[in-house]
Amino acid sequence: MNKRFIVDAHLDLAMNAIEWNRDLTRPLDEIRLREMHLADKNDRGKGTVCLPELRKGKIGLVVATQLARVHPMGGGLPGSSWNSPQQAWAMTQAQLAWYREMEILGEMVPIVNLQQLDTHLQLWNDETIADDKKPIGYILSLEGADSLVDISYLHKAYDYGLRAVGPAHFGSGRYAPGTKMEGPLTTRGVALLKEMGKLNLILDVTHLTDEGFTQAMDLYDGPVWASHHNVRSIVPTQRQLTDEQIKLLVERGAVIGGMLDCWALDNRFIDAVSDPWQLNIRLENLVDHWDHICQIAGNSNHIAFGTDLDGNYGTEQSPWDMNSIAGLQKYQEILLRRGYKAEDIENVFHKNWIRFLRKAWG
């Protein structure tokens, strides 16, 4: 099959480059080889994402994150946790500097408005230029708002290109409690939503608590998406979306990006314990989640990719039939086998995200 253009709405590229010290301009085999004898992180030598693999998979547009939580005395996840908002802000600026360096090299190009989006799509549709010569377009997103020292920093971030914000991540959160927590947005978080609305920023509801999700959907009138979320009826944890949440997102015209972290695909998977091959967790598992959303929505207009690949994990926690992110192209065959039509596949691969952006930025 010919490769189709893909949009992936959640990749922690700068975190991997800065905190994991991965040169993402290099081939994947070389990155893995460099890490062969490192043991500081569970996914050393098991990464799936780099810029050459994105091009190989025709993943020409991504939502790329800045990520730095504020959790004094650590935060339960390796990396990205800092003792003060100022330290967290400084880390996001280091991540921003990496994206800028990728722009200078011609490896990546920022997308902040419809004109830039259209120019970039035209480039990737130009078959006279080889895909491996094209830059990866990126839309900048802030995963967890902890690093915004105060609300004025949101305007600083908007000015340098930030276009989406998820108030929560893991843990308590300065603006909103996140995964494995309970409770509403903080007072600071309510103010953040109001300021985001003035800038027409995209609200990412990923990682919000149930109470925070409901509150944010009630308070925020601007564009909303769920960049990397699966279905709670299949994986019954607080991290996934309930049917009622899915209905609310569909009503708002949101798109839900399916993620490929094994514990978000199959409830049997336990981090750092289970093996994807032994549990037979495959790329096709994600289609079960997409099917469920499609049944609620009545169409395929609200599902897409938000893989979260290499987001604190690698092949040890990814579907066993995927060696790198370029394997997303396998979904053409998988979706056809599952009864999806060509139009549906186009929706999943890129059209739903592009349609969303045209409406949000129009």
The helix/strand/coil state of 231 is strand
Q: What beta strand segments (E) does the chain contain?
A: 6-11, 59-66, 69-70, 81-82, 108-110, 136-143, 162-166, 202-204, 224-225, 256-258, 303-305
**Number of residues that make up the chain:** 362
What is the signed CA dihedral for 249, 251, 257, 258, rounded to 10 degrees? 80
Q: In the prediction, which pLDDT does 79 show? A: 67
Half-sphere exposure in the Cβ direction for 361 (13 Å, CA): 17
The mean pLDDT value for 262-279 works out to: 95
What is the signed CA dihedral for 328, 62, 218, 220, rounded to 10 degrees? -170
At residue 280, φ and ψ (nearest 5 deg) are: 55, 45
What tens digit of pLDDT does each residue of 130-151 get?
Answer: 999 999 999 999 999 999 999 9
Q: In the prediction, which pLDDT does 269 show? A: 97
The mean pLDDT value for 252-271 works out to: 97
Q: Is the pLDDT of residue 271 over 90?
A: no
317 contacts 43 by C-beta, under 8 angstroms: yes
Beta partners for 8? 62, 305
The mean pLDDT value for 112-131 works out to: 98
pTM, entire model: 0.97
Give percent above pLDDT 90 in the chain.
96
The helix/strand/coil state of 285 is helix
CA distances from 12 to 139, 260, 313, 325 (A): 12, 13, 11, 13
67 contacts 12 by C-beta, under 8 angstroms: yes
What tens digit of pLDDT does each residue of 203-243 get?
Answer: 999 999 999 999 999 999 999 999 999 999 999 999 999 99
Q: In the prediction, which pLDDT does 73 show? A: 63
d(CA 135, CA 107): 5
Closest CA to 43 of 77, 75, 66: 77
Closest CA to 109 of 68, 51, 149, 53: 51
Q: What beta strand segments (E) does 147-214 contain?
A: 162-166, 202-204
Local confidence band at 75 (pLDDT 50, 70, 90 cut-offs) = low
Structural domains in the chain, CATH included, are 6-361 (3.20.20.140)
Q: Is the pLDDT of residue 37 over 90?
A: yes
Local confidence band at 77 (pLDDT 50, 70, 90 cut-offs) = low
Q: Is the pLDDT of residue 74 over 80?
A: no
User: What are the start-end ranges of the H helices in 179-277?
Assistant: 187-199, 210-219, 243-251, 262-265
Local confidence band at 81 (pLDDT 50, 70, 90 cut-offs) = confident
The helix/strand/coil state of 18 is helix
2 by Cβ neighbours in 10 Å (0-12 / 13-18 / 19+) ranks as exposed
Closest CA to 88 of 75, 76, 100: 75
d(CA 261, CA 319): 8
Q: What residue type is 218 in one-letter code? A: D
What is the signed CA dihedral for 233, 235, 238, 242, rounded to 10 degrees? -20
Q: Is the pLDDT of residue 78 over 80?
A: no
Mean pLDDT, the chain, as a whole number?
96
Contacts of 88 (CB under 8 A, 6+ apart): 68, 69, 70, 82, 146, 147
Q: In the prediction, which pLDDT does 272 show? A: 86
What tens digit of pLDDT does each residue of 155-194 get?
Answer: 999 999 999 999 999 999 999 999 999 999 999 999 999 9
The mean pLDDT value for 267-293 works out to: 96
Closest CA to 174 of 196, 211, 146: 146
Q: What residue type is 186 in one-letter code? A: T
The mean pLDDT value for 15-36 works out to: 97
Q: Is the pLDDT of residue 1 over 90?
A: no
Q: In the prediction, which pLDDT does 80 show? A: 79
